[in-house]
Amino acid sequence: MRNNWLKSAVFYQIYPNSFNDTNGDGYGDFRGITQKLDYIKGLGANAIWLNPHYDSPFMDGGYDVRDYFKVSSRFGSEEDFDEFLRTAHAKGIKVVLDLVPGHTSEQNPDFLKSAEPVENEMYDRFIWTKGEWDFPQGFKAISGRHNRKGNYIVNFYSTQPSLNYGFNRVDEPSWQMSYKSDAAKKTREWLKSVMRFWLDRGCDGFRVDMADSLVKNDGEQGEKPATSELWSEVRAMLDEEYPDAVIISEWSNPQSLRAGFHADFMLDHHGKPYNLLVRGEEEPDTYSYFDANGRGDAQKFAEGFSAWYNEVKDNGYIALLSCNHDTPRLAPFYSQEQLKLVYATLYTLPCVPFMYYGDEIGMKYIKDIPSVECGFGRTGSRTPMQWSMGKNAGFSDADRTFLPAESDKVVNVEAQTKDKKSLLNFIKSLFAFRKSREEFISRDLEFVHAVGSEPLVYRRGKLLCVVNPRSVKATAPVVIPAKAPVLFSEGKPAKPKKDGLEVPPFSFTVFEA
């Protein structure tokens, strides 16, 4: 495997609609991203995950692709995209695109061809029932939209017809095809052609949307043997033809790495490690470890993370995110001081870090904002990047923007760049420290102390990390030399005592011990 760059990658995720508008139309664009590449590099990131950039009617924020081989004119020209790629690479920044393999837009030409009443070359590219009165249990079937006899299956919204990768368990032979059928194999080859097109154009890999959703009726949740077989085939193609390319899955299960992905997101699923660490409050009567009042449980997090990590560490990487386009931002649920501790903990665990645009300055999740492009509850995490106190927070000169921009004297790049104690400057120092120590790209992890709401202590090789998310001083029964050097800290650093560590409130410390 030549793609060793992933182990030291720090990703910055960009939702292109909302990042930087250079032509005044109210939407971000490729030129706007290119203009800010030095900012991204200065942050300490060396890779970008770009949300869908394809031609789309944007009925689901671009996750309804009309043409997989064309960029959206909303974001600029084909030349603008290629210039973005060239400039990013010249600055040492990798670019990973969003791959949407499970469904297309209902305006996709292949789907419209398959919807014709007469059998043709695209007839089996999508999943259609046998008759127009078929409404199979367990599937979303859309009826009465086309002249073809039968209804089409969708993955999510009615505008997103499912591509036909076949079925592992065939319950209705009249319309369900095996994943080993010729039609399903042709869809696999089509998917590979999409990937080859963008890899040949210069991208460095893909984040794969809903990676576990392709083959239907596919075993127990998580394992999905037929879908795993499909991705193993894709991985073999990459290893042979594009050995530097990476694929990162939205699967959130160790099976994804066994199936061939290089990394997999640990997502915010209830009761899972990421949720237990930092997002438990999103469910009734649950709390994360970072609850300032001490209602979380470090042990549950450490046990869950260790089990997951031990299962995947020899196959690939866990991707840990600050947030993403589908997830509420952590602010204002946490203060900027708390966010420093959250990010310090997340990104000193063994992982590939992902920072969502604006999280580095503590942009807030906006509740109850009207839905745009089917964002619904996700819309509040997609507002324009806050660059300054200028018009539309420095995002755009337009009179009306994609989503309303939030004006905040503290939460903007210009203000935080000037403030040495800002969240932005902390993130820069954190990523610089992370880059300076090989321990953070090693496979070493030991949870030394993880009990209730007490300080969490974990070892990465020669480094000992100590965090106290509570608003009161605490102790941890971990004895280290009194003169162990403090290499990095936020808040007052922890102090070694004869009987353990004395850990100040709201603090994070890294010792060489």
pLDDT bin (cut points 50, 70, 90) of residue 285 is confident
Cβ atoms within 10 Å, residue 448 = 17
What the chain holds in terms of domains, given with CATH numbers, is 4-101+184-283+316-359+421-438 (3.20.20.80), 103-162 (3.90.400.10), 284-315+445-513 (2.60.40.1180)
Chain segment 113-147, per-residue pLDDT in tens: 999 999 999 999 999 999 999 999 999 999 999 99
Among 195-204, 213-222, 236-245, 383-392, name the one with the lowest average pLDDT.
213-222
* pLDDT score, position 2: 64
d(CA 356, CA 15): 8
Q: Which residue has the tokens 């210069």?
A: 202
Q: Percent of the chain having pLDDT more than 90? A: 95
Instruction: Concatenate the DSSP letters of all residues of 315-326 into one string.
Output: T-EEEEES--TT
Q: How far apart are CA 312 and CA 438, in angstroms?
A: 20
φ, ψ (nearest 5 deg) of residue 502: -100, 120
The Cα–Cα gap between 135 and 206 comes to 34
pLDDT at 50 over 90: yes
**Confidence check: pLDDT of 1 > 60:** no
pLDDT at 286: 79
The pLDDT of residue 210: 96
Tally Cβ neighbours within 10 Å of residue 336: 18
- For the cut 50, the answer to whether the pLDDT of residue 440 exceeds it is yes
Q: Is the pLDDT of residue 235 over 70?
A: yes
List of long-range contacts for 452-458, beta carbons under 8 Å, 24+ apart? 452/294, 452/297, 452/298, 452/299, 453/289, 453/291, 453/294, 453/295, 453/296, 453/297, 453/298, 454/298, 455/494, 455/501, 455/503, 456/289, 456/298, 456/301, 456/302, 456/345, 457/501, 458/302, 458/349
pLDDT of residue 275: 94
Mean pLDDT of 63-73: 98
Write down the pLDDT at residue 149.
Answer: 94
Average pLDDT rounded to a whole number, residues 334-341: 97
Say whether pLDDT at 284 is over 80.
no
pLDDT digits 0-9 by tens, 268-281: 998 899 999 998 77
CA distances from 401 to 24, 357, 414, 485, 490 (A): 9, 17, 20, 50, 37
Count other Cβ atoms within 10 Å, centred on residue 300.
17
Arithmetic mean of pLDDT, 308-322:
96
Q: What is the end-to-end Cα distance of the chain in Å, rounded?
A: 33
For residue 7, is pLDDT > 90? yes
Measured torsion, CA atoms of residues 88, 70, 378, 156, in degrees rounded to the nearest 10: -140
